[in-house]
Chain A
Amino acid sequence: MEAASVSVRAPEKRQRKPRSGAISMRARLAVASRVFAALIGGYLLTALTSICLAQFLPLARAEAVVLAMTLSFLVYLPAVLWCFACGTAWRAWLGLLLPSAVLAAIYAGARWLL
Chain B
Amino acid sequence: MLLATLLCYIGFTALCLSMNRHYEDLTGRPFSAVRGQALRFSGWAALLVSLWIALVSQSLGQALVQWFAALMSSAVLLVFVMSYRPGLALSLAGIGVLLCPVAAFLQLLA
Q: Is there a direct interface between A and B, measured as CB atoms under 8 Å apart in the complex?
A: no
